[in-house]
Amino acid sequence: MSLLTLKDIGKIYVSEGNVAVGIRGVNLSFDRGEFVAVTGKSGSGKSTLLNVISGMDSYEEGELFIEGQPTSHYMQKEWEEYREKYISFIFQDYNIIESFTVLQNVELSLMHIEDKKERRARALELLDRVGMTSHIKQKGSKLSGGQKQRTVIARALAKDSPIILADEPTGNLDSTTSHEIIELLREVSRDKLLIVVTHNFEQVEKCATRHIRIFDGAVESDHVISHSEISSDEKTVRSSSENKKKSSDFKKGLTLGKAIFTSKPKLSFFFCLLMIIGTLGIFMVTALCGDAAVLFEKNYMFEHIDGRVVITTQNGEVMSEEDLKAISEKYGAKEYLHYDILLEDYSNYMTFEHEGEEKYLSFCYTYRESFGEDIVGKYPQNNNEVFLYMPISYQPMFGKSSVEIENIYYGSMELKVTGVKYYYDNNLTPKCLFTKEGFRTVTALHYLFDSASNDIRVNVFASEGYLINEIALYNIVPSFDMKDGTAYIESGEYRKFVNTLYDKNYRTQISFTSHYYNYDYNNYGTQKALSFTRLIEDDCIVNVPPEMNRFDGYYDGSIIVSVSLLREISEEVLERSYRQASLFFENDKEAHAAAEKLNNDGYIAVTSDTTYTPEATTVIIGLIVGLMVAFMWLMAIVFLAFFIGLCSNRTIGAFKSDMAIMRSMGIPVKVIKTGMYVRMLIALIPAYILVIATAVLIFTTPKFNEFFTYLYAWQYAVIFIGMLILTFRITRGQVRKLFSESVKKSLKGGSAE
Ligand code: ADP
Ligand code: MG
């Protein structure tokens, strides 16, 4: 059985209504070991013959048998497999991949060898055989014609196919080089079928074993030439791949992708940049989406603290401390908080000093919340102590292993920071944690300041009892340093007045008037402003203690009160106006059980994990915003896809001829396509690294954390998957463009012919 048999083969070209005969009625049989020289006039059909044999052109008539198997039913895929297995093609114009190095060009044909080192060794061996060892690192574009053809021969040999077809391989070479190439061809393909088309028979005469003349598309003559001097035991290039593990198409694609990526460094760099731009775009829009996600967060009625139950009486009666204590014991609460108003207050800030600058910390309150053992410093123990839970960007100021900023100011009250815990998710609001007493103290201050209006006044009475002056004060400053129940008037105006007073037996009284609202969530709609006045009598008013001279001048127009006095004043206001309290149970589960009992017993009890349904308008606005953000995200993706797609389509030309050459070499389209995908995925790597680096920086570097939005895992997933989809779509477009034409047409378009 012959290796290759052509039976009545005919090929007709039809283009623009003209019919041209390529070849007709060709009957030929070929075997291994033959060196067939094909000659004939230009246009006689020599190239057509080779193209048909190689499967790059279809035939309309007859049948081509390969190892006895008919091929007329072959589809593109079968032809590819056929080319991959049987054919190596050497062209007149070399068809070397110009952007690949000599070594890469040869390795391209060795992709079936899985082991990288082995592949390299084999390529070097073949290049040595064609005398190209000294040029292995050179790019295809930098070679002379002879060098190119040598490389192509090495490449053809690398494939180790039984058939080598050469279409005028020396057509562009000078005669000396031509001879060398022909001899090289003969030498390296003794056990193969070698068909060489040439218009210069003398060049091949010495080596050829057969001479076929073509005339007008038909075989004119077919002679066997015998060469006695050729011995069959000469060195042949043995297949090294037969008994080795074969590389899968995917692995070949991977190897090819890497080669394509590195062979065009400028273009690859450009694509990396494109991908980075794309990824940053998605990154930014996704960060925005995160803001919109807030709209879909749970709407808690109260600040949710595990185990918290909010309670009021049904008829709006005031609950005293004693009442609460009794309720707390009866229902098994771990603790109660009489005035819990601040837990629902989200717009607070504290100030602190860092390197001579005043800084702010907005925060919300929490109570009985644990931040674990892994904290800097310790939890608060005293009335004037506070624990801060805040973003890592505060770490440089507050310290990494010990608390470095000791004092923080809430209004005019100085608090001690005992411990801190940092978090990375800068979407969160910082929290302040106090002791029960501490919470009560800040509540007092907050409540007095938050009232609709305060009126603090110093009234000076003459010894006879009538009012001689009224001086307004503007500020109330609680101090933990003042003796319990005392107050001090820090007012230049007041001091000046009493110093000039003739009557030294004057009396001073401070009146404190506050307008406040009836406050509880149950009667929120019916707020009432009430007013109350509290007098601080003479015996409470003291001179400033010597250790407290820090108040001198600075708080002019203030009354400095001991914390106990502050609480005394506020107690009255709170008691009159505030009807809500919190009970704390072990966890939400117990809280639910207790709330049920409390409700059955006539209280209004709500667990803090209770959510409310926002008003329809809020829902609709939320929905619109959400949709808009989603739309933006989509538009960003579409725009990026369009932009990157446009850029990539402009570069497609650079690949056209390369891909055609690869196809003519018998590399399956699947492998080449995989290679193109791999190339794009490699271009994506720097962008991914950038995103990961950003994520790591946000997670580790306080300064970075301050300026970049913290993204959640799902958002990173969105970015990564989004970019992946984008890359796949773009590559699919590229690949479609690349493979829309036949191999022959692409080759023509890409070559100088
Ligand atoms: P050779 O290689 O011997 O110079 P070819 O095989 O290229 O000749 O051409 C054989 C005949 O087929 C010529 O008449 C040529 O015009 C025609 N032919 C070759 N390729 C095409 C094609 N793609 N379209 C139309 N006619 C073609
Ligand atoms: Mg030709």
Q: Which residues contact 150 (CB under 8 A, 6 or more apart)?
A: 130, 131, 132, 181, 184
User: Which neighbouring-strand residues pair with 313?
Assistant: 603
From ligand 1's centre to the CA of 15, what distance in Å? 11
Query: Relative to the CA of 23, which ligand 1 atom is closest?
Result: 10
From ligand 1's centre to the CA of 49, what distance in Å? 10
Separation of alpha carbons 629 and 559, rounded Å: 51
CA 212 distance to own-chain centroid: 63
What is the model's pLDDT at position 239?
45
What is the model's pLDDT at position 293?
67
**CA-nearest residue, atom 27 of ligand 1:** 13
From ligand 1's centre to the CA of 45, what distance in Å? 6
**CA-nearest residue, atom 1 of ligand 1:** 43
Distances (CA, A) of 616 to 79, 181, 298, 493, 626: 65, 84, 15, 56, 15
Query: Relative to the CA of 168, which ligand 1 atom is closest?
Result: 2
From ligand 2's centre to the CA of 199, what distance in Å? 9
**CA-nearest residue, atom 12 of ligand 1:** 22
- In degrees and rounded to multiples of 5, residue 752 shows phi and psi of -85, 0
From ligand 2's centre to the CA of 158, what distance in Å? 25
Tokens of 29: 């049989």
Q: In the block, which residue shows the tokens 């080759």?
A: 747
For the chain, helix, strand, coil in percent to 5 are 45, 25, 30
3-class state of residue 285 by DSSP: helix
Is the Cβ–Cβ distance between 150 and 130 less than 8 Å?
A: yes
Tokens of 611: 């959510």
From the CA of 43, the nearest ligand is 1
What is the DSSP secondary structure assignment for residue 160, as one 8-state letter?
T
Separation of alpha carbons 681 and 549, rounded Å: 69
CA-wise closest residue to 55 among 746, 747, 742, 748: 742
CA-wise closest residue to 345 among 580, 531, 147: 580
**To 5 degrees, how large is the angle CA 164–CA 168–CA 172?**
130
**CA-nearest residue, atom 13 of ligand 1:** 43
Counting Cβ atoms within 10 Å, is residue 714 exposed (0-12), middle (13-18) or buried (19+)? exposed
Average pLDDT, 10 consecutive residues per value, the chain (753 residues):
92 86 93 93 93 91 94 90 90 86 91 88 90 92 90 87 91 84 85 91 88 94 74 44 64 91 91 89 78 72 91 80 92 91 86 92 91 93 95 94 92 91 91 93 78 74 89 86 84 86 84 67 54 64 60 75 85 76 94 94 90 82 82 83 83 84 85 93 94 90 87 88 89 86 66 36
From the CA of 171, the nearest ligand is 2
Beta pairing class for 357-366 and 431-434: parallel
Beta pairing class for 467-473 and 453-461: antiparallel
Is the Cβ–Cβ distance between 521 and 608 less than 8 Å?
A: no
From the CA of 753, the nearest ligand is 2
The one-letter code for the residue type at 102 is V
From ligand 2's centre to the CA of 747, what distance in Å? 14
Tokens of 529: 């402003």
Tokens of 249: 């198409």
> Radius of gyration of the chain from Cα atoms?
45
From ligand 2's centre to the CA of 385, what distance in Å? 94
- In degrees and rounded to multiples of 5, residue 278 shows phi and psi of -60, -45
**CA-nearest residue, atom 17 of ligand 1:** 22
Query: Relative to the CA of 41, which ligand 1 atom is closest?
Result: 3
Question: In b/e form, how buried is each residue of 49-63, taking b as 16+ CB within 10 angstroms?
Answer: bbbbbbbbbebeebe
Q: In the block, which residue shows the tokens 């779509």?
A: 729
E-state strands within 292-384: 308-313, 335-337, 348-354, 357-366, 376-377
Classify the C-alpha dihedral 315-321-326-328 as positive or negative.
Answer: positive
From ligand 2's centre to the CA of 167, what distance in Å? 7
CA-wise closest residue to 153 among 176, 178, 130: 130
Give the model confidence (pLDDT) of 60-98 as tens digits.
Answer: 899 999 999 999 999 988 998 899 899 998 888 878 999
| Inter-axis angle of helices 669-700 and 713-738, nearest 10 | 160
Query: Relative to the CA of 11, which ligand 1 atom is closest?
Result: 12
| DSSP assignment string, 553-592 | TTTTTEEEEEHHHHHHHHHHHHHHHB--EEEE-SSHHHHH
From ligand 1's centre to the CA of 169, what distance in Å? 18
What is the model's pLDDT at position 240?
45
What is the model's pLDDT at position 92?
83
**CA-nearest residue, atom 11 of ligand 1:** 22
CB within 6 Å of ligand 1 — which residues?
13, 15, 20, 22, 40, 42-48
From ligand 2's centre to the CA of 87, what distance in Å? 18
The one-letter code for the residue type at 252 is K
3-class state of residue 307 by DSSP: coil
Residue 97, CB-side half-sphere exposure with 13 Å CA sphere: 29
Separation of alpha carbons 358 and 120, rounded Å: 66
Separation of alpha carbons 619 and 445, rounded Å: 36
Query: Relative to the CA of 49, which ligand 1 atom is closest?
Result: 6
Side by side, the strands of the sheet bearing 467-473 are 467-473, 453-461, 507-517, 529-536
Is the Cβ–Cβ distance between 536 and 466 less than 8 Å?
A: no
From the CA of 11, the nearest ligand is 1
How many residues are present in the chain?
A: 753
Q: Which residues contact 676 (CB under 8 A, 6 or more apart)?
A: 257, 260, 655, 731, 734, 735, 738
**CA-nearest residue, atom 16 of ligand 1:** 43
User: Which neighbouring-strand residues pair with 410?
Assistant: 413
Pocket test for ligand 1, best of 11, 13, 18, 21 (most atoms within 8 A of CB): 13
